[in-house]
Amino acid sequence: MLGEDTQALVRRFYALQSERVEAYRLFEEGHQAYLRSGPDYDFPQYRQLVHEITAAFTGISQEILGIKAQLEGPHGRRDLARHLTRIQEQESEKLQLTAQLQLAKQNAQDHPEVETHAQEVRGLKHKLIQTIEAISETLQDFKYDSEESG
C-alpha cells in the first residue's frame, strides 16, 4: 500500500493531468474558432489564447516536476517518478505536434489546392494519435504501479 504522502502526490498528479486535458480541449476549441474567422483571421485573440494555454501548460508541468522530485526522494517511488518523466516527454511531444497540426490545418484551409498541405495534416494527425496512445499506455503503467505496494 502506498504511504499517505505518496497517495496524495498520485492524486495531485491525476488532478493536474485532468487540467492538462481540459487545457487541450480549450486550445482545440480556440483554434477551431480561429480557423472559422478566416480568411481575415483574428490573430490577436488567438495569440492571447496561445499565451494563456502556454502559461497553463507551464504551471502544470512545473508542478508535475515537483511531484516527480518528491517521488525520487529517499522514501519515494522512483518507479513512479520514471513514469512521470516519460509522461512529461510525451506531453511535450504532443504539444509540439498539436501546434504543428494547427499551423498545417490553417495552411490546408488557406490553400486547398495544395495537396501537400492535406498530406501534412493527415501525417501529423497520425503522429498525434500515436503520441496520445503512448501517453495512455504510460498512464496505465503509472496507475498499475501506483496501486501496487512499493
pLDDT tens-place string over residues 33-82: 999 999 899 999 999 999 999 999 999 999 999 999 999 988 889 999 99
Question: How many domains does the structure of the chain reveal?
Answer: 1
**Cell matching residue 52:** 494563456
Question: What's the pTM value of the predicted model, to 2 decimals?
Answer: 0.91
Separation of alpha carbons 104 and 140, rounded Å:
31
Indicate if the pLDDT at residue 8 is higher than 80: yes
Q: Report DSSP state, residue 39.
A: S
The domain spanning residue 33 has which CATH number?
Answer: 1.20.1420
pLDDT tens-place string over residues 115-136: 999 999 999 999 999 999 999 9
Q: What is the 3-state secondary structure (H, E, C) of 59-108?
A: HHHHHHHHHHHHHCCCCCCHHHHHHHHHHHHHHHHHHHHHHHHHHHHHHH
Residue span of the structural domain in which 38 resides:
4-147
